[in-house]
Structure 1
Amino acid sequence: MFDTVCTLPLPADLFAQAIHPNEPIISVGLSSGHVQTFRLPSEESEDLDDDDQGSVSSSSRNGKGHIDTVWQTRRHKGSCRTLTFGVDGETVYSAGTDGIVKAARAETGVVENKIIVPFMKNGSVDAPTVVHALSPQTLLLATDSSALHLYDLRVPYSKVSARPQQTHRPHDDYISSLTPLPPSDTSTSGFSKQWVTTGGSTLAVTDLRRGVLMRSADQEEELISSTYISGLSSGGTSRGEKVVVGGSGGVLTLWERGAWDDQDERVYVERGAGGGESLETLSVVPDELGKGKMIAVGLGSGKVKFVKMGPNKVVSELTHDETEGVIGLGFDVEGRMVSGGGQVVKVWHDTAASMEGDGDFPGEKRMYGGGSEDSDDDDSDKSDRETQQTDKSRRKQKKQKGKDRGKAREVMAFNDLD
């Protein structure tokens, strides 16, 4: 189904991965606090004449193109926990165990804004777990203490002490995933105003205007990841719209939109004698690839499995890494799958699409990005080993995921943006 086009080694463990909504660009957040942004080869240049260009043309299909480092920097003191692009792709938001959210230009990496995450009651840093740009006006930020902060991006944050417009607590445990629900047909803005979160063993739905609408019954399993899929078979009470949730025991649960009291279907992705493997990340396979309704599942075992919706069964699998779990998973604007975990990011091309090319498919080709590096902090060369090691164990211990808040570094003061 997919084969490796290239492998991109990273200098530290991957903790976050984001894919640009409009361009073949990916950003990664690392345990070292670094954020790096890469541009993948574009298929648009495949038809260019090499002689006319004076250089080898980029080819995402045959694996001969170059991955360019757009920029890289030590963005956070401690680990970069979570990362996302804005709705238009012009801004990339990162949040780290230093308790700071930084908004930077996606093209240059230059920081334009900073927000301090509100401290916990005991005065310690409340490390972030999820950051998501709901719309051009609203940024959502979830934390270890189960807080869900809403920031109005129209307010100029000239200082790092900006406070959230709203704060909700949809769960009793840290928030592990956040999935926006598409706007209704009557929406005038065209942007989502509701979203689903998972935290501990519950699922919750929150509304931008009305706050937390509901929380599910205890599922007796840690819920880790989630995504939304539409266009499924409808009939009876089913609208053909589901929220798919990955658990720590290797089971996908399907939740009918609008019927949030409990799950209505289960899919066993990977079962084991001592319990199933954790389903760390989910992504919908684009309809344009012609695979039907399908979910790609990144596992803690390092595998990626593909679940066909309708028959609701695993139809194929591949291996991202033999030892490290899959932390990031998604599809870029050109339909390539990007998986990340451990100290490597892999780019995969649809096998059927590659057969239409020149047949020169190298399987796995290691590609190194070029470019320069800058730094947000004067002490960027000093490694925060304690925080990095603690966050690394966070990824390896699924039951302790998000519990390293005591190791987060205290925020002092910042006078400049970058």
Structure 2
Amino acid sequence: MFETLCAIPLESDLFAQAIHPEEPIVAVGLASGHVQTYRLPAGASDGSDDETLASENGFGHVETAWKTRRHKGSCRTLAYSVDGSSLYSAGTDGIVKVADSATGRVTAKITLPSDAVTGGLDAPTLVHALSPQSLILGTDSAALHLYDIRDRGAKSTLTPQATHRPHDDYVSSLTPLPATEASTSGFSKQWVTTGGSTLAVTDLRRGVMVRSEDQEEELLSSVMVTGLSRKGTSVGEKVLVGGGNGVLTLWERGVWDDQDERITVDKSKGGGESLDVIALVPDGIGPGGKIAAVGLGNGALRFVKLGQNKVIDELKHDVLGQEGVIALGFDVTGRMISGGGRNVNVWGEKTWQDVAEEEEEDETPINGKRGLESDSDDSEEEEPEGSSEEEEPKQKRKKRKKGKGGKQAKGHGILHFSGLD
């Protein structure tokens, strides 16, 4: 379904990745505390005048939009605002920073509340912009804080509007439920979370509404799927949940006490690999129908066709199997972006010619190479190097099978897609 267009080497381990909702831009948060954004070549589906992908016309390259040392300690999580104008980053320093996504300049800061039990630092695990008004923040202590961000200032000391604890363990994933037809804003007001071995649904105003039975397996990732077949009592909307044992479970919307179906994605000896991240393949890409892309703890990427409920293709983010896939998504052009270890890989859809050549030659696409860009002039955000070392092992334990990656190539330059002059 996809082939590697290029690989972006990173200077330290990737902890977070976010994809801009309206432009071909990807942001990364690193163990070193750095946040960096890359602009990918424009494509036909992003609204540009050029109807040919840069990877096809020979002029494609990836540029660094900006880069800065954003947090003292690792950058745990990233998220764009609904319109993409702001980028939220949260680190093990217990601070959430709101930055202009175009320049990287910080416009506001939020200090997370202390751990309610220990009184100490409660590091973030998840950030999600539910709407232009509401921001959700999850922490190590399993707290889920809700903020109204309309009145924030440059040095804001916002307090949460509400705090919920839908799980006994930290929230491992959050998926908004689509707004109902009765909604006047069009924005979601309910969301599904996974944490430990349970799934829960929380409402913006009413709090935690339902929590599933103990599934006796770790639930790690989730994504919403609509437009499925409406057979029997099915409403055609399900949440896919990735487990720690290689099994993908399907949950019917409105029936949250227990899972509806199971799809085995990995049958590795001694127990399946963890399904750490899930993303839906955009309509029009691949063989048709609803397809879920799943990132595994051993660096594999597998594609599951829903309805048939079977794996139809497999790729490798990390060919050595040492780095798990911790981030996965699609940009506005339909390119798949996977992250893990010290690499972000950009994938493009295979053409029929590509498929025919593979069948004849059985060759693996060669990754592109990229030089090291210079830092941005956002000097006021720079923090002393090395201050995050003590934070790194703790975050690594929260991500399975994270290992050491290769070092970035020296020198200046741009990232050319593989096979281009």
TM bin (shorter chain): 0.7 to 0.9
> 2: distance between equivalents of 1:371 and 1:61?
28
Which residue is 1:386 aligned to?
390
Corresponding residue for residue 296 of structure 1: 293
In structure 1, the partner of 2:225 is 229
Q: Deviations over 1:345-365 (max 9, x none)?
A: 000000028859xx9x96421
* One of 370, 384, 388 as aligned partner of 1:367: 370
Q: Which runs of 5+ in 1 are unaligned?
A: 49-56, 399-418
How far did 1:384 drift? 2.1
Matched, 1:314 2:317: no
Once the 2 structures are TM-superposed, how far is the Cα of residue 370 of structure 1 from its aligned partner? Answer: 3.3
Distance 2:372 2:42 in 1: 15
How many matched pairs? 387
Matched, 1:17 2:14: no
SS in structure 1 at match of 2:184: coil
Kindly state the Cα deviation for residue 178 of structure 1 after the two structures are TM-superposed: 0.2
Match of 1:208 in 2: 204
Q: Please report how far the alpha carbon of residue 340 of structure 1 lies from its aligned counterpart in structure 2 after TM superposition.
A: 0.4
> How many angstroms does 1:307 deviate by?
0.3
Deviations 1:164-216, CA, capped at 9 Å, x for gaps: 11111111111100000000011100000000000000000001111110000
Matches within 5 A, 1:14-413: 14-44=14-44, 59-61=54-56, 64-121=59-116, 122-290=118-286, 291-321=288-318, 322=320, 323-352=322-351, 363-368=366-371, 370-373=373-376, 374-377=378-381, 379-396=383-400
| TM-score, with length taken from structure 1 | 0.88
Matched with 2:406 is none
| Inter-partner Cα distance in structure 1 for 2:152 and 2:175 | 26
Secondary structure, in 3 states, of the residue corresponding to 2:390?
helix
Change in 2 beyond 3 A, CA 1:85/1:47: closer
Change (3 A) 1:206 1:84: same
Once structures 1 and 2 are overlaid, which stretch shifts more, 120-129 or 259-268?
A: 120-129
Paired with 1:18 and 1:354, the residues of 2 have a C-alpha distance of: 31
| 8 Å CA contact 2:70, 2:382 repeated in 1 | no
The alpha-carbon distance between structure 1 residues 284 and 345, as it changes in their structure 2 partners (threshold 3 A), is same
SS of 1:157's partner is: coil
Q: Does the 8 A contact of 2:28 with 2:78 survive in 1?
A: yes
Q: Give the whole-Å Cα distance in 2 for the aligned partners of 1:214 and 1:389.
A: 34
Q: Is the 8 A contact 1:76 1:96 kept in 2?
A: yes
Q: Which moved more, 1:378-387 or 1:271-280?
A: 378-387
Worse-superposed segment, 121-130 or 345-354: 345-354
Shift in CA distance, 375/268, structure 1 to aligned 2, threshold 3 Å = farther
Matched to 1:19, the amino acid is I
Letter in 1 for 2:73: G
* Amino acid corresponding to residue 83 of structure 2 in structure 1: D
Contact 1:62–1:354, Cα closer than 8 Å, also in 2: no
Offset of 1:58 from its aligned partner?
7.7
Secondary structure of the corresponding residue to residue 395 of structure 2: helix
Check 1:233–1:368 CA distance in 2 against 1; reply closer, same or farther (3 A cut): farther
Q: Which whole-Å CA distance do the structure 2 matches of 1:94 and 1:153 have between them? A: 14
CA 1:268–1:134: 2 relative to 1, 3 Å? same
TM-score (norm 2): 0.87
Report the secondary structure of 1:102's partner residue.
strand
Q: Provide the rounded CA distance (Å) in 2 between the counterparts of 1:32 and 1:337.
A: 25
Please tell me whether the aligned partners of residues 275 and 295 of structure 2 are also in contact (alpha carbons under 8 angstroms). yes
Deviation at 1:43, TM superposition (A): 2.5
Cα distance in structure 2, aligned partners of 1:105 and 1:255: 37
Query: In structure 2, what is the Cα distance between the partners aligned to 1:41 and 1:258?
Result: 41
Name the aligned partner's letter for residue 385 of structure 2.
D
81-90 vs 346-355, which moves further? 346-355
User: Displacement of 1:275 after TM fit?
Assistant: 1.1
Q: Partners of 1:61 and 1:136 in 2: how far apart? A: 37
Check the 8 A contact 2:323/2:401 in 1, yes or no.
no
Equivalent residues of 2:109, 2:155 under 8 A apart:
yes
Contact 2:68 2:375 in 1 (8 A): no
Partner residue, 1:401:
none
How far did 1:42 drift? 1.0
Q: Is the 8 A contact 1:6 1:63 kept in 2?
A: no
What CA deviation, in whole Å up to 9, does each residue of 1:131-179 have, x standing for no partner?
0000000001111111110000112234343211111111111110000
Whether the 8 Å contact between 1:292 and 1:308 is mirrored in structure 2 is: yes
Cα distance 1:63–1:202, how it changes in 2: closer, same or farther (>3 A)? farther
Q: Is the 8 A contact 1:178 1:198 kept in 2?
A: yes
Sequence identity of aligned pairs in percent?
60
**In 2, distance between residues paired with 1:261 and 1:239?**
16
Q: C-alpha displacement at 1:236, in angstroms? A: 1.2
Q: Secondary structure at the match of 1:329?
A: strand
8 Å contact from structure 1 (residues 68, 369) kept in 2: no
**CA spacing shift, 1:221–1:125, aligned 2, 3 Å:** same
Distance 1:107 1:377 in 2: 16
User: Contact between 2:277 and 2:326, CA under 8 Å: does it hold in 1?
Assistant: yes
| SS in structure 2 at match of 1:392 | helix
